[in-house]
A and B are shown apart, each in its own frame.
Chain A
Amino acid sequence: MGRFVVRRLLLTIPVLLGASFLIFAMVYALPGDPVRALAGDRPLAPAVVAQLREDFNLNDPLIVQYAKYLGGLAHFDLGVDFSNRPVLDTISQRLPVTIKLTVVAVLFETIIGLAAGVLAGIRRNSFFDNLVLVSTTLIISIPILVLGFVSQYVFGLKFGWFPIAGINDGWYSYLLPGLVLASSSLAYVARLTRTSIAENMRADYVRTARAKGLPNRTVILRHTLRNSLIPVVTFIGADVGALLGGAIVTEAVFNIPGIGRAVFEAVGQQEGAVVVGIVTLMVFFFIFFNLIVDVLYAVLDPRIRYD
C-alpha cells in the first residue's frame, strides 16, 4: 500500500507540472502585454514599463520564466502581484473562505444526496423514486448561474431567510451558496446511489444473505448498502477536489471572497502570478483528492490490492 501511494504521488508530478505550465503559458506566452493591461487607459512612461517588464521576468523566454517560477515555488514563493503583494498572502486569506464553502457543500451533497438515493434505490419505481428521478434531472439541467439567482431572489430577497451576498453572517451566510454549489453533485450522488443499490439488490450475495435468514434490516444495511456505497463514497471524495476549484460561479454570484473569486478577479486584471498560483493550487487539490479516493477504494473493497 505504501509503495502504491508513493508511486501514485510520483505519477501526479507530471500532471501537476503540465497543468501549471499550461496555465503559465496561456497567461504569459500569448502575445498580450500584462503591463499594458494593468495600466489600462493611463499612459505609463516607457521607463516604468521597461522596469516592470524586467521585475516580472517578462523579457525572458517562456521556458526560463517558468523555470524561475518553479524555483520560487520550491521555496513556497509564488511571486508577487503588480502591487507587490505576495501571492501566498492572497491565497492564505482567501482559501479558508472557499474551504468553508466546500465543507457546507459536501455536507449537503452527502446528507441529502445519499438519503434521496438510498430511499429511491430501495423502493424502486415507487412515487418517491420517480420524484427523485424527475427532480435530479431538473437540478442537473438548471445552470448553477440560474440556480444561484433564483435562490438569491426567492430565499434572499422574497422570503429574506438568507443573506443575499457576502459572508458577514458567519457559517449562516454559507448555507445558500453551499447548497447551490452542491446542487449538481447532490443530484449526481442521488442517482449514483440509486443505481448502485438497485444493481446490488440483484446480486447473488444479497440472495445468499436472505437465504441465511438474516433480518431484512441486516440484508439491506449490511449486504446491500455497504457494497453500494463504495462508488458513492469515492465519488464524493473526488468531488471535494473538484468543488475546491469549481466555485468560481457561485462565489461570483454570491459575492464570496474565496479563491474562485480571487482567480476570476486576477484573470480580469491579468495578474499572471495570482492566476498561476491559485490554479496550480486548485489542480493540486483535484489530484490530491483523487489520490485519496484511490486509497479509499482499497480500504473499502478488499478485492483491490495495490501490491
Chain B
Amino acid sequence: MTEQQQRDLRHDEVEAGTQSVLATPRVDVTDARQNSLWSDAWDSLKRNPLFWIGSFLGVFFVLMAIVPQLFSGGADPRDCDLSNSKQAPSGSHWFGFDQQGCDYLANVAYGARNSLMIGLLAVIGVLVIGVIVGAIAGYYGGIADSLLARLTDIFFALPLILGALILLRVGPSTGLPIISDRGAGAVAIALAAFGWMTAMRLVRSQVIAVKSSDYVAAARAMGASNLRILTRHILPNAVAPVLVFSTITVGVLIAAEATLTYLGVGLQRPAISWGLQISTGQSLLRTAPHLVLFPSIILSLTVMAFIMLGDALRDALDPRQRS
C-alpha cells in the first residue's frame, strides 16, 4: 500500500487504540518501547524459518565446540596410523582419513572449538572497541568526534584480512604477550583490531539519534548525569542493531580466522583448525578432495548459522523492513 494509505491507517489505529501490522507505534518511553520491541521481535522470529535453521545449526556447532567427543564417532583425532593415509570416506569412518592417517571426522569435529572460540573472542573485542569509541564520539561530538571519525576512516580503508595478516606476521617478533604466541588469542586480537569500525559507526549513529530525542532531553532536564543518560537511556536503544551486527560478525570473523590460518599466519600446528585442514588439503585436491571438502562444508555451515540468525534478527528487530 502507498505511504499515504499507511499514514491514514496508522492514524486510524492510533486514534482507535488498536494495532495491526500496518502501524508501528513510535512511543519513546524506553521500557515500554523496549518491551514491545522484543515481544514483537519474538513473534516475528517464531515464524521465520531462517531463525530456526540458524538456531539449530548454531546450537549444533556450539555443542560440537564444547563436547567434540560426541561428534567424533569415538575416534581420537591424534590417534593416527599412516597405513590409513588419505583413505576415502567409508561407513565406519564417514570423513575418511587425512595424510597422516588420522580419522578426519574426529579432526573436523575437534576443529569447531578453535573457530567458535576465536569468533566469539574477536567479536567481544570488536564490541569493546566499537562501543567505547562510538559512544564517546557520538556522545561528546565536536573535536573528539572528528578525531575518532578520522581514526575510524583510517582503519576502514585497510582491508580486514590484510591488516590482520600484517599484524600476525610481525606478531611473534614483538615479544608482546598473547600477540607473540601465535595462538587463538593473537588471531582474535588481530581480527578485533582491524574489524571494529562498523560497530563504532553503528553505535555512534545510534547515540547521536537517541541523544537528540525528547526523552533524553527530559532526563537531562531532570538532572540525570552524563554517565546515567549514556548507560540507562542511550545504550539500551543501541542494543538491537548491535546485536544484529554482532551475530552476523561472529560468522564473518570465523571465516576470516580460517582464511588467516590458511594463509599461514593464524593458528599453527599442532592446533586443530579448519583453516589448517583446508590449507593442507589444497595440495592433495587431485588425489583426496575430501580433505578440502569436509572442513569447507562444516566451516561454511557454521558461518551460515550466524549469518542466518543475524538476518532473522534484523528482520525481526527492524520494523521498517516488515511488510
A touches B in complex, CB < 8 A:
yes
Main secondary structure of the interface of B (DSSP, over half): helix
- CA of A94 to CA of B172 in the docked complex: distance in angstroms? 29
Within 8 Å of chain A (Cβ to Cβ): is B3? yes
Q: In chain B between 258 and 310, which residues have their CB closer than 8 angstroms to a CB of chain A?
A: 258-259, 262-265, 275, 278, 282, 285-286, 289, 292-293, 296, 299-300, 303-304, 307-308
B1: chain A residues within 8 A (beta carbon): 202
A207: chain B residues within 8 A (beta carbon): 2, 4
The verdict on A146 contacting B154 (CB below 8 Å), with A33-B173, A141-B304 known, is no
Nearest chain A residue, comparing its CB with the CB of B6: A202
- CA of A73 to CA of B323 in the docked complex: distance in angstroms? 54
Q: How far is the CB of A2 from chain B (nearest CB, A)?
A: 23
Across the interface, do A283 and B157 meet the contact criterion of CB distance under 8 Å?
A: yes
B171: chain A residues within 8 A (beta carbon): 30
Across the interface, do B170 and A23 meet the contact criterion of CB distance under 8 Å?
A: no
Within 8 Å of chain A (Cβ to Cβ): is B153? yes
Q: How far is the CB of B141 from chain A (nearest CB, A)?
A: 18
Across the interface, do B50 and A137 meet the contact criterion of CB distance under 8 Å?
A: yes
The tally of CB-CB contacts under 8 A between chains A and B is 138
Within 8 Å of chain A (Cβ to Cβ): is B192? no
User: B174: which of A16, A31, A149, A248 is its contact (CB, 8 Å)?
Assistant: A31
Q: How far is the CB of A218 from chain B (nearest CB, A)?
A: 19
Nearest chain A residue, comparing its CB with the CB of B158: A19
User: A26: which of B166, B296, B303 is its contact (CB, 8 Å)?
Assistant: B166
Across the interface, do B289 and A145 meet the contact criterion of CB distance under 8 Å?
A: no
User: B3: which of A202, A263, A287 is its contact (CB, 8 Å)?
Assistant: A202
A16: chain B residues within 8 A (beta carbon): 157
Nearest chain B residue, comparing its CB with the CB of A125: B323
- CA of A254 to CA of B285 in the docked complex: distance in angstroms? 13
Number of interface residues of A (CB under 8 A): 51
User: A138: which of B157, B166, B304 is its contact (CB, 8 Å)?
Assistant: B304
Within 8 Å of chain B (Cβ to Cβ): is A249? yes
B303: chain A residues within 8 A (beta carbon): 141-143
A44: chain B residues within 8 A (beta carbon): none
B285: chain A residues within 8 A (beta carbon): 149, 152-153, 157
Within 8 Å of chain A (Cβ to Cβ): is B195? no
Within 8 Å of chain B (Cβ to Cβ): is A88? no
Across the interface, do A248 and B165 meet the contact criterion of CB distance under 8 Å?
A: yes
Across the interface, do A249 and B300 meet the contact criterion of CB distance under 8 Å?
A: no
Within 8 Å of chain A (Cβ to Cβ): is B67? no
A138: chain B residues within 8 A (beta carbon): 304
Within 8 Å of chain B (Cβ to Cβ): is A1? no
Q: Which of A104-112, A166-174, A224-232, A264-272 contacts B (4 or more CB under 8 A)?
A: A264-272
A5: chain B residues within 8 A (beta carbon): none
Within 8 Å of chain A (Cβ to Cβ): is B251? yes
B299: chain A residues within 8 A (beta carbon): 143, 146
Within 8 Å of chain A (Cβ to Cβ): is B224? no
Within 8 Å of chain A (Cβ to Cβ): is B169? yes
Across the interface, do A143 and B154 meet the contact criterion of CB distance under 8 Å?
A: no
Within 8 Å of chain A (Cβ to Cβ): is B159? yes
- CA of A16 to CA of B278 in the docked complex: distance in angstroms? 35
A26-B166, A137-B50 known; 7 other A-B pairs, CB under 8 Å? A15-B153, A141-B304, A142-B300, A145-B275, A146-B299, A204-B4, A249-B262
